[in-house]
Amino acid sequence: MLWSKIFIPTLKEAPAEAEVKSHKLLVRAGLVRLLTSGVYSYLPLGLMVLERIENIIRQEMNSTGAQELLLPCLQPIELWKKTGRDTQLGQTLIRFTDRKGRQMCLGPTHEEVITELVKDHVQSYRQLPLILYQIQTKFRDEIRPRFGLVRACEFIMKDAYSFDRDKTGLEKNYQAMYEAYKRIFSRCGLEIVITEADPGVMGGDISHEFMVLAENGEDIVGRCQGCGFIVSNPAAENKNCPKCRKGNLSFQQAIEIGHVFQLGTKYSKAQGATFLDEAGKKHPIVMGCYGIGVSRMISAIIEKNNDDEGIIWPKNISPFEVLILPVQIQNKQVQEASLEYYRLLSNQGFNCLLDDRDESAGIKFKDSELIGIPLRLTIGEENLKQEKVEIKIRRTGEVLKVDAKSVAEKIKSIFEQIS
Amino acid sequence: MLWSKIFIPTLKEAPAEAEVKSHKLLVRAGLVRLLTSGVYSYLPLGLMVLERIENIIRQEMNSTGAQELLLPCLQPIELWKKTGRDTQLGQTLIRFTDRKGRQMCLGPTHEEVITELVKDHVQSYRQLPLILYQIQTKFRDEIRPRFGLVRACEFIMKDAYSFDRDKTGLEKNYQAMYEAYKRIFSRCGLEIVITEADPGVMGGDISHEFMVLAENGEDIVGRCQGCGFIVSNPAAENKNCPKCRKGNLSFQQAIEIGHVFQLGTKYSKAQGATFLDEAGKKHPIVMGCYGIGVSRMISAIIEKNNDDEGIIWPKNISPFEVLILPVQIQNKQVQEASLEYYRLLSNQGFNCLLDDRDESAGIKFKDSELIGIPLRLTIGEENLKQEKVEIKIRRTGEVLKVDAKSVAEKIKSIFEQIS
């Protein structure tokens, strides 16, 4: 694509409300814009990153046999009354009464809705196991929205739900999701720490969180110096490890990007979702739920992949793979060479952005560092005379002067090696 | 994919609230489920159709140079006060007050939000023209939600917005969108009638609607018997054509699936979205907006593509292209042949569904007609003995007995010919 044809409003300065680096860079690199506290628009570049992440999640979810569907944002409050979560969520749940007096809320999660759906259509053990998931917009009336996409009132989640006949089935699906999550985060370039967690308002016994260690994270990861046990957000009174009861905990701040729960029968019992076994005996369905903060992942990725100049995208989720930067856009030879490389690399399957703007080289270089495309191909007058061009690796800062003729193979081999 | 691995809860009977054929079939074929009046969940098959339509829309939008972004559902009411549309929309606009007393609404459309965004980032004529679009969930508190996805409280729209320096630019973009719409609907297998329309609450002068003629449509298309002029929803007092003022109008019911508007400067003036021309003079940006009812299109397509047995999907948006139906699933030879064809056709690029369920042939045949995949490959014991299989074309009902060896080429040539 041509830079002149994409709406990428980069900024020199971050907005005053941006406290952390990822928030500043999200705005400065033209990925998102604030509409009102906790509510963001995704601009074209931000949406591209979102789509890359969503595609990786879809591939890994589908590979476990999970099926995608799409549930509504609007939910009747009466459903939440069945599980008592209308009270438990309190003011966090956004509510309104429609013109006919129907009490509604905006879904922050979908256990009740999916349980209702499955209850109506699953009657027999033969229809189990079943894993359903969606990637969808969720809503929370946050007391204190902050850190850009980390804590927002409107955000995008992947939420999956598993339905099994017994605990053994649940444990198997839980493990499959656990492994899928590791693959998803690794493909997105995120190193994670997996912690034992408190299921809280979701319910159930066993729960794990997928954390990205980050100075500005709102969560705490506690690691036992004795037995190595890792726990999220240990209660303040716990000076010792909750597992071995002996070792001291060391603490690190983190951003939670995934959370999985063995729910058990909390929802199926409250809502009457049952199945008949081989003997015709009725049992409540055994459930699990599995969330990923999709939009929050963008913040976590930027928080861990940046330098003073801007973002450094991991290659799998970068909006583009190669940025082609003609230094003197008015120079015909530079222009032609740039277009030629654009076509050549695009034909080889690279997703290229050509900075065709009539701006100074200084602005272009600054913007290129800011938006953080993994590889930059710099086409300049002087180098062209020697039949050379420059390849810059964004992450390492390394610059390679290469033969104009070997660009495609060089880009290919470098791209394979970088993360 | 294997039928046994997809959640397709087909029903023999339609729910009581379903008045029209498309609504009945949407539910019976396991595409959607009602959560509460006007609010639907898309099940896996329904989501597949939605994605096919969205991809066609994206391709055609991108080909005009329009750029995709994603705006929030949550909008501050104060934005709507700037244009006076908070009052104009009245109770249709879903509103709530958050815990900090902020008055919010759920977006039924995004003129105000996008104008605010463009106002902050477009200052010069050099940044124009610009077309931005999104495919997103919208909300309306409908007095009378009905006809399934035709009139819902939560629905999916494609909304595009063009920004130009003058009327000439607007007219050019309007024409580009108009032509893109014709291509989109044609690729989705919909015959449309384009009418002149009243811009209504959107504002502006010129507006066209894209209508699908349908007995159960809520809109009226008036066609002048004299001059041929076509108008949507002519006022009751208009017994004569509003254009030639002489001819009589004939009326037909229709479903509106697209609406384009030359907005002019209504929003840019109200919100102060201006640009500087070459001479440094300030002007309001000239806008257009362009909507497609994406989820509603599914209803319109089914309304026009069905028979007594079920849906007949146009090939471009069908969830699958070929349904493979083993008549005797317990017969090893039938099983093996079915899997073999599944692999063969999948390798040739066909999106196949294999009905591997251990159900009676009767149920499988009924379900296959109901879900409406364009081509069915029927694998039966008797035919296999003669090295034959059957291909059934869903739309025409035509059945071809073909040599087992020539299946791939037959399917290919038939698929090319059908619509």
Residue A237 confidence (pLDDT): 65
In whole angstroms, give the CA distance from residue A161 to residue A174: 10
- CA separation for the pair A350, A322 (Å, rounded): 7
| A139 vs B contacts (CB less than 8 Å) | 73-74
Cross-chain residue pair A35–B137, CB shorter than 8 Å:
no
Best of A28, A53, A82, A96 to substitute, by most chain B Cβ atoms within 10 angstroms, is: A96
pLDDT-derived band at A238 (thresholds 50, 70, 90) equals low
Listed residue (A307, A345, A303) closest to A22, CA to CA: A303
Cβ neighbours of residue A50 under 8 Å, at least 6 residues apart?
A42, A156, A294, A295, A298, B70
* pLDDT(A189) > 70: yes
- Give the distance, in angstroms, between the CA of residue A20 and the centroid of all CA atoms in the same chain: 18
Per-residue pLDDT at B326: 97
Q: Which residues of A touch B9 (CB under 8 A)?
A: 120-121
Average pLDDT over residues A170-192: 98
**Cβ within 8 Å of B, A 148-187:** 153-154
Q: What is the pLDDT of residues A352-400, one digit of tens each?
A: 999 999 999 999 999 999 999 999 999 999 999 999 999 999 999 999 9
Q: Is B5 on the interface with A (CB under 8 A)?
A: yes
What average pLDDT does chain A have? 96
B325 CB burial (10 A radius; 0-12, 13-18, 19+): buried
Other beta carbons within 10 Å of B228? 11
User: Tell me, what's the pLDDT at A199?
Assistant: 81
Give me B315's structure tokens.
Answer: 């090939």
- Inter-chain touch A44–B35, beta carbons under 8 Å: no
**Tens digit of each residue's pLDDT (9 = 90 or more) over B31-71:** 999 999 999 999 999 999 999 999 999 999 999 999 999 99
Average pLDDT over residues A280-289: 98
Inter-chain CB proximity A99 and B76 less than 8 Å: no
- Residue numbers of chain B with a pLDDT score lower than 50: none
DSSP assignment, residue A43?
Answer: P
Nearest to B117 among A41, A106, A130 (CB): A41
Task: Give, in degrees to the nearest 5, the angle at Cα B153 between B152 and B157.
Answer: 75
Residues in chain B: 419
**Percent of chain B that is helix, strand, coil (3-state, to 5):** 35, 30, 35
Q: Which residues contact B405 (CB under 8 A, 6 or more apart)?
A: B387
Token pair belonging to B155: 């629905």
To 5 degrees, how large is the angle CA B330–CA B331–CA B333? Answer: 140
Positions of E strands within B235-299: 249-264, 274-276, 282-284, 286-293
- List of chain A residues whose C-beta atoms are within 8 Å of the C-beta of residue B154: 72-74
Give yes or no for a contact between B71 and B95, defined as CB atoms under 8 angstroms apart.
Answer: no
Whole-model pTM: value is 0.97
Q: Are B65 and A40 inside 8 Å of each other by CB?
A: no
- Looking at per-residue confidence, does A164 or B203 come out higher? A164
pLDDT for residue A187: 98
Helix H segments across A188-277? Answer: 266-271
> Cis omega (within 30 of 0) on the bond before B319?
no
